[in-house]
Structure 1
Amino acid sequence: MKKLIATLTLATLACSTAVYAQATDNKNEWAAKVVALQQGPELDRLVNQLAGGSAQELIAKWGPRLQANVAKDAQAKTSETLNAELQKYGNDASSLISKQVAKVSADTLVPAYAERFTLEELKQIAAFFESPAIKKYQAASPELGNAFVQKLIEASRSDIQARAREFDVVAEKLIGTKPAAATPPKAAPPAKK
């Protein structure tokens, strides 16, 4: 009898472990589905923003060098060539970042969603993202976002320009408008005898 109970207990434990593993896998599958469904035009915009941010670092680094190291008469052509290379860089950076989206999503978002949401909640979230209204919203979102940004820029342009002029006045007082005169090298002190 004890052997039968032990066997039944082991069988029950094995069965519940299998059910738990299946539920976990099912939950992870639903979490992966939610992650995939939410990655629409907004993700593309994020990827482009990240790539653009890295391009801005290059512009900040090489813009002053262009001005300082390239003769004035060659700056326009060099700038044009540099801009073409910068465009290639931006495309490559977007592609490189995009290639990491699936891996980072699987490694980070899927486990986080599976941990924070029940299976039923994940199914509800997936249904939300699959609804026609949300699909339409996601499709329209970039255009609506761009329209909002354009109107915001237009509405704040004069105030920002006025504030920039105030900054220019202060910066001019601090820095001046003329290049600093080169300081002659200090003469070496006389040698002691």
Structure 2
Amino acid sequence: MKFHLKQLTVAAALLLAFGAQAQTAAAPSAAKKELIAKVLAFQQPGIESLARALVEQPAARMMQGAGAALQQVPADKREATAKAIEADVRKFVDEASALTRDKAVQLAPTTIGPMLDEKFNEDELKQLIAWFESPVNKKYQQMGGEMQNALGQKLVAEMRGAIEGRLKTLEQGVAKRLGLSPQPAPTAPTTTKPVTPSTSAAKK
């Protein structure tokens, strides 16, 4: 019995020792932490855009619903009501975006950081940073918006007729189910951006 207890004690000690070594090995070095922080800094604009999109998407849906509901408002009050709603939604987007952005930036090191540590070694992180800093990458990033706009405009031009027809059919079907007289069908989007309140002035 004493022999078995001694074996168990030694085994437990070895497990603890190996566990401590594994934890030590898993902890990134100071140099690697610095590289990860630099990668996260390059990613911050994307992180902030993600946070804002999470707020703008439900706000856009709310604006679309409000646009339909405005048809029930008396014509002489419709414009003022629309402006008031837009101001309320814009205020919500600005305030909620700031809160969400700050939280996203705060969470990134503990969420994305460990993923970078697991998937990339120091040399790979250095290569990644070199790519972020390269003139080729900067040139490509500058073209990103132009390429998206060009494709979006072409897509809208090609699909406008098909989308408007489907929207009209859907609107008529919904109105029929509700027993309502159908309102004029909404038109297809004319820009590549989602329908959101104007927020350009709020960007920093």
TM-score between both structures, scaled by the size of structure 2:
0.63
Change (3 A) 1:169 1:74: closer
Of 42, 45, 63, the residue aligned with 1:37 is 42
Q: How does 1:1-193 map to 2 (within 5 A)?
A: 24-40=29-45, 42-59=46-63, 71-178=74-181
Structure with more contact order per residue of length (Cα contacts < 8 Å, sep ≥ 6): 1
For residues 109 and 150 of structure 2, the distance between their equivalents in structure 1, rounded to whole angstroms, comes to 33
Check 1:39–1:152 CA distance in 2 against 1; reply closer, same or farther (3 A cut).
Answer: farther
- Superposition deviation, residue 60 in structure 1: 5.9
CA distance in 1, matches of 2:147, 2:99: 27
User: Max radius of gyration: which structure?
Assistant: 1
| Equivalent pair of 1:38/1:129 in contact (CA under 8 Å) | no
Identity among equivalent pairs (%):
32
Q: Quick one: structure 1 residues 128 and 26, their matched pair in 2 at CA, closer, same or farther if it must change by over 3 Å?
A: same
1:178 Cα offset (Å):
4.3
| One-letter amino acid of the counterpart of residue 29, structure 1 | E
Aligned to 2:17: none
CA distance in 2, matches of 1:22, 1:45: 30
Alpha-carbon contact 2:175-2:181 (below 8 Å) kept: no
Q: CA separation of 1:127/1:112 partners in 2, compared to 1, >3 Å: closer, same or farther?
A: same
Tell me the alpha carbon deviations over residues 116-153 of structure 1, each in whole angstroms, 9 at most, x when there is no partner: 11111111111111111101222332233233222222
After superposition, what is the alpha-carbon deviation per residue over 1:51-105, rounded to whole angstroms, capped at 9, x for unaligned? Answer: 211313543675566666x555323212212212222222223322222232121
What root-mean-square deviation, in Å, do the aligned CA atoms of Structure 1 and Structure 2 show? 3.2
- In structure 1, what is the Cα distance between the partners aligned to 2:103 and 2:67? 29
Q: Structure 1 149/84 Cα, relative in aligned 2: closer, same or farther at 3 Å?
A: same
Q: Counterpart of 1:94 in 2: which secondary structure?
A: helix
Equivalent AA in structure 1 for residue 171 of structure 2: D
Structure 1 contact 51–94 (Cα < 8 Å) conserved: yes
Counterpart AA for 1:73: D
Change (3 A) 1:92 1:151: farther
Unaligned runs of 5+ in 1: 1-15, 180-193
My pick for the range that moved more, 97-106 or 109-118, is 97-106
- Paired residues in the alignment total 161
CA shift in 2, pair 1:159/1:97, >3 Å: same
> Please, what TM-score do these two structures have when normalized by structure 1?
0.66
